[in-house]
Chain A
Amino acid sequence: MTTRFKARLMLAILLLPGFMASNAIAQSARDYIYIVGSSTVYPFATVVAERFGRGTEFKTPKVESTGSGGGLKLFCDGIGVDFPDIANSSRAIKQSEIDACATNGISDVIEVKIGYDGIVIASANSSADMSFSRRDLFMALAKQVPGGQEGQLVDNPNRTWADVNPDLPAIRIEVLGPPPTSGTRDAFVELAMEGGCKTVPWIKALKDSDSDRFKSVCHTIREDGVFVEAGENDNLIVQKLEANPSAFGIFGFSFLDQNAEKVKGAAIDGVVPTFETIADGDYPVARPLYFYAKKAHVGVIPGLREYLREFTSERAWGEEGYLSDRGLIPMPDDERRQIAKDVRELNALSAASH
C-alpha cells in the first residue's frame, strides 16, 4: 500500500459520514402500528401483532410494555404519528384519563374488551399450598391496619403470615408486586385489598361517609420492604419466586398458566385460580382486560383497522382461539359478538359511559 493510496483512502473515509448522513436523514413516514401499555396484555398483544404481521401485507406492529397507566398516559398525550395508536390496559380506562385524552384532542376512543384475567398470588411449586382470604391479604399488605379500638389505625406490625392469621404458617411476608403504573396493581388493590378492607365494619362504613379516606386506607400498600415493587417485568418475578420459595408474587393468571411448571397460585377465599374458576366468576380476584384505540388513527395508520379485526376474530379470542392457548379467558359468545360488531363499526366510547 503506497502512502498516496493510504492518504486517498483516508480522504474517502473522512467523506463517508456526509454520504451516510444524506441517506439517514431521509426520514420515512410511519407505516406500522404503535402499541403501548399493560404488561399483562403484552403477551396477547404481541401474539396478535406477530400473526397479523405474518399474515397480512402490513408491517408488524411495534409493542412496548409500559404498564397500563403509563401506556394510557402516553396514549392520551395527543393525536398524530408520534403518539401510540393503541394502549393495552389491564383495567378499564378511568374518567381522569378520558378527560386527559379529551384535553389533548382525542375525543373518540374505541374500547375493546378482550377477555378476562385473574390476578394470582403465586409462589414456587416447591412451596407449601397456601390459602388466603382477602382479609389476610389486606392485613398483610396494607400500610396501616386497624388497631385495637374502632377508628384507630396503626402502622402495619405484621411480619409473618402467622401474625396476620394464626392458621397460616410463620413464614416472613415477602410479596413481589407491580408498581402503580401497572393495571394489575390497580385491579389488585380494588379487588383484593378493598375486598379485605371491607370486612372491617367501621372501615366499610367509611366508604359512604368519607370515601377519600376509605380509599387511602384500603388502597395504600406498605412501603417498609415487605411488599417489593418488582417493576413491570412479570418474568422477572417468576424467576425470583423460583429462587425463593417463601416469597409470593402478584401477577396475571395468564402468566401463571404459562409458567405452571415453575409457580402455582394460592387459593383466595378458598378458590384456587384455574381457567374454569375464573371463567365462572368463582375466583374473587378477576378482572377484564382491554385495549383502547384512537378512532382518529383508523384509516390513517396502515393496518390499524385490520389489526382491530384480527384481535376480535374468533380465531384469536374465541373459545378455541390462539389467545386462549396463551391463557386469556374468553368472554361469553354473545358478548364477543357484540364487541366485535362494535369494533367493526368503530363505535367510540362516549365520555359519559364511565
Chain B
Amino acid sequence: MKDANSTRMKVEAGLQRRRRKERVFQLIGLLATAVGIVFLGVFFFSLIKQGASAFEQTHVRLDVEMSSEALAPDGELDLIYADFDGVIRSALRNLFPDVTGRGDRRELNQLVSIAAGYQVRDMLVEDPDLLGGKATIWVPTSANVDMLVKGKIDPGIDEAMRPVSNQQIRWVDQLETEGRIETRFNTALFTNGDSREPELAGIKGALMGSVYMLLVTVALAFPIGVAAAIYLEEFAPKNRWADLIEVNINNLAAVPSIVFGLLGLAVFINWMGLPRSAPLVGGLVLSLLTLPVIIIASRAAIQAVPPSIRQAAFGLGASRMQVVFHHIMPLALPGMLTGTIIGMSRALGESAPLLMIGMVAFIVDVPGGFTDPATALPVQVFLWADSPERAFAERTSAAIIVLLGFLLLMNLTAVIIRKRMERKW
C-alpha cells in the first residue's frame, strides 16, 4: 500500500504540470487554427477594401454641341476620322473659358477620358438626327481624376509627386461644387476588353477567354475522365498495366501545372502548329490538367455505390456493361459531376501553364471563337497587377473579386448537387 501511495503522490505531484501542458497544447492548436482563418479574414478584408471602389467610376456632366461644321464639314459624318474629341474639348472650354494657354488647355482636356469621344460617336451612330443639336451627357473622367475623387490620391502631397496638377485639382473642385461630378456604376469593367486606359479597361475579354477555355476543357475532360474512371474501376484487368495507369494518374494529379504548360508549348504549339494565345490550346492544356482530378473523383463516386446494387443486377442476369451503364453510373453521376465542377474551378484559377502558351498579351478585342487570341481571367489579374497606373491596382482587386465570385459559385453548385442528388446508403 505504501508503494501505491507513493505512486499516487508522484502522479498527483505531476498533475498540475501535466494539466498546464495540456492547456498550452490546446491553446497552440487553437492558435494554429486561428492563423489560417485570420489570414482569410485579413485577405478578404484588404481585397474588398481595395477593390470595391473599382466598381464605380467617376463621371462628369458635359453640355456638348454636336455642331455639324465641326463633325461633318463635307455634309456627311465620317465615322472614322471626324473629330469627336473636339466636341468634348470645346465643351470643356465652354466650362472654363478663362483657360487659354496651350499647356493649360492640355491639362484641362486630360480631365476627361478618351472614352468620351467614342461615346459621342456611338450616340451619333445610334441617332444621326443629333447632328447639329445639343446634348447633356455624362462621360467618364480620366483615371487620375477618378482616383482623386475617390480619395486615392492625396491632394496634400507635393505636386511633382502626384499625377494631377494643382490647377486640375482646382477644376475638379469647381466641377464638384457645380454638381457636375458623380460616381456611377462602372459598366466598362464588365463590357470592355483590356485597355491601356484604366477607365476603359474591362474584364469581358478575359472572361470570355476563360469561358471558351472551360468549354473546351469540360467537353474533353468530362467524357474522357468518366470513361477512364469506369474502365479502371470496372473493366481493367488487375495486372501491371492497370497498376501503371493507376500510379500514373495519381502522379499526374500532383505534377506541377507549369509542366503541363511546357507540354502544351512543345506538343500543341510547336509540334501540331496550333495558334498561340488561343483558347483552344489553353483548353487542351487545362483538360489534361483536370483529367486526373475528374478521374479520381469519378472513381471515388463509383466506389461509393454499394456492392449490393451491383450484385443484384448481376443476379438478375445483367451483363457487366449493363450493370455499369444502367445501374452504377446513374447513381455515381452526382459524384462525378461534383468532381468535374471542382476540376473546372481549378482550371478557372490556373494561370501558370497559360503563361507558357502565349496567353500573356495585350488583347483589346473580346474573343469571338476558339482560335481568336485571348487571355484568361487569372492571367488578366497577373497583367494588371504589373501595371504601373494606380487605378489598375483597384481594378486588379475587382477582377480578383469577380474571379473568386465565379469560383465560389462553382463550388456552391458542386455542394448543392452533392446535397440534392447524392443518396445515402
Is chain B in direct contact with chain A in the complex (CB below 8 A)?
Answer: yes
**B291 → chain A, closest Cβ, in Å?**
13
Q: Bound complex: CA of A193 vs CA of B39, how far in Å? A: 47
Q: Bound complex: CA of A46 vs CA of B388, how far in Å? A: 15
Are B333 and A10 neighbours in the complex by a CB distance under 8 Å? Answer: yes
Q: Assess whether B303 is interfacial by the CB under 8 Å rule.
A: no
With known contacts A47-B196, A236-B386, A258-B389, A64–B361 Cβ distance under 8 A = yes
Q: Which residue of B106, B227, B325, B358 contacts A64 across the interface (Cβ within 8 Å)?
A: B358
Q: Assess whether A7 is interfacial by the CB under 8 Å rule.
A: yes
Which residues from 153 to 177 on chain B have a C-beta closer than 8 Å to any C-beta of chain A?
160-163
Chain A contacts of B358 at CB under 8 A?
Answer: 64
Q: Assess whether A50 is interfacial by the CB under 8 Å rule.
A: yes
Chain B contacts of A114 at CB under 8 A?
Answer: none
Q: What 1/0 mask marks residues of chain B from 366 to 390 whose CB sits below 8 Å from any chain A CB?
A: 0001110100000000000011111
Are A13 and B364 neighbours in the complex by a CB distance under 8 Å? Answer: no
Q: Bound complex: CA of A304 vs CA of B373, how far in Å? A: 18
Q: Which residue of A13, A49, A62, A235 contacts B386 across the interface (Cβ within 8 Å)?
A: A235
Are B369 and A28 neighbours in the complex by a CB distance under 8 Å? Answer: yes
Q: Assess whether B215 is interfacial by the CB under 8 Å rule.
A: yes
Q: Bound complex: CA of A51 vs CA of B84, how far in Å? A: 13
Q: Bound complex: CA of A19 vs CA of B370, how far in Å? A: 13
Q: Assess whether A60 is interfacial by the CB under 8 Å rule.
A: yes
Secondary structure dominating the interface of A:
helix
Q: Assess whether B80 is interfacial by the CB under 8 Å rule.
A: yes
Are A53 and B161 neighbours in the complex by a CB distance under 8 Å? Answer: no
Are A235 and B388 neighbours in the complex by a CB distance under 8 Å? Answer: yes
Chain A contacts of B220 at CB under 8 A?
Answer: 17
Which residues from 210 to 252 on chain B have a C-beta closer than 8 Å to any C-beta of chain A?
215-216, 219-220, 222-223, 226-227
Inter-chain residue pair count (beta carbon < 8 A): 98
Which residues from 143 to 173 on chain A have a C-beta closer than 8 Å to any C-beta of chain B?
none
Can you name the residue of chain A whose Cβ is closest to the Cβ of B392? A235
Q: Bound complex: CA of A121 vs CA of B193, how far in Å? A: 34
Are A17 and B329 neighbours in the complex by a CB distance under 8 Å? Answer: no
Q: Assess whether B65 is interfacial by the CB under 8 Å rule.
A: no
Are B362 and A62 neighbours in the complex by a CB distance under 8 Å? Answer: yes
Q: Assess whether B306 is interfacial by the CB under 8 Å rule.
A: no
Q: Assess whether A125 is interfacial by the CB under 8 Å rule.
A: yes
Chain B contacts of A244 at CB under 8 A?
Answer: none
Q: Bound complex: CA of A50 vs CA of B362, how far in Å? A: 10
Q: Assess whether B110 is interfacial by the CB under 8 Å rule.
A: yes
Size band of the interface chain B makes with A: 35 or more
Which residues from 63 to 104 on chain B have a C-beta closer than 8 Å to any C-beta of chain A?
80, 102
Are B223 and A24 neighbours in the complex by a CB distance under 8 Å? Answer: no
Q: Assess whether B118 is interfacial by the CB under 8 Å rule.
A: yes
Q: Bound complex: CA of A325 vs CA of B280, how far in Å? A: 38
Q: Bound complex: CA of A234 vs CA of B155, how far in Å? A: 27
Q: What 1/0 mask marks residues of chain A from 112 to 126 whose CB sits below 8 Å from any chain B CB?
A: 000000000000010
With known contacts A62-B373, A261-B162, A325–B388 Cβ distance under 8 A = no
Are A258 and B325 neighbours in the complex by a CB distance under 8 Å? Answer: no
Q: Assess whether A179 is interfacial by the CB under 8 Å rule.
A: no
**A68 → chain B, closest Cβ, in Å?**
17
Are B219 and A17 neighbours in the complex by a CB distance under 8 Å? Answer: yes
**A325 → chain B, closest Cβ, in Å?**
7
Can you name the residue of chain B whose Cβ is closest to the Cβ of A36? B361
Q: Assess whether A212 is interfacial by the CB under 8 Å rule.
A: no
Q: Assess whether A255 is interfacial by the CB under 8 Å rule.
A: yes
Are B386 and A59 neighbours in the complex by a CB distance under 8 Å? Answer: no
Chain A contacts of B193 at CB under 8 A?
Answer: 60
Q: What 1/0 mask marks residues of chain A from 34 to 78 whose CB sits below 8 Å from any chain B CB?
A: 000000001100110111011111011011110000000000000
Are B370 and A24 neighbours in the complex by a CB distance under 8 Å? Answer: yes
With known contacts A20-B216, A261-B161, A325-B110, A27–B371 Cβ distance under 8 A = yes
**A201 → chain B, closest Cβ, in Å?**
41
Can you name the residue of chain B whose Cβ is closest to the Cβ of A59? B365
Are A46 and B162 neighbours in the complex by a CB distance under 8 Å? Answer: no
Q: Assess whether B277 is interfacial by the CB under 8 Å rule.
A: yes
Report the 4 A-B pairs with minimum CB-CB distance, sorted nearest first.
A60-B364, A24-B370, A6-B330, A235-B386
A-B contact pairs, 27 of them (CB 8 A): A10-B226, A10-B329, A10-B333, A14-B227, A17-B223, A20-B216, A20-B219, A21-B219, A42-B362, A46-B196, A47-B196, A49-B362, A50-B196, A53-B365, A54-B118, A60-B364, A60-B365, A62-B373, A64-B358, A235-B386, A235-B388, A239-B386, A258-B389, A259-B388, A260-B160, A260-B161, A320-B102
A residues near B (Cβ < 8 Å) are 3, 6-7, 10, 13-14, 16-17, 19-21, 23-24, 27-28, 32, 42-43, 46-47, 49-51, 53-57, 59-60, 62-65, 125, 233, 235-236, 238-239, 255, 258-262, 320, 322, 325
Q: A3-B330, A54-B118, A258-B388 are in contact. List 16 more A-B contacts (CB 8 A).
A: A3-B327, A6-B330, A7-B325, A13-B222, A14-B227, A16-B219, A32-B365, A43-B196, A50-B197, A57-B80, A62-B362, A62-B363, A63-B362, A65-B362, A233-B386, A260-B161
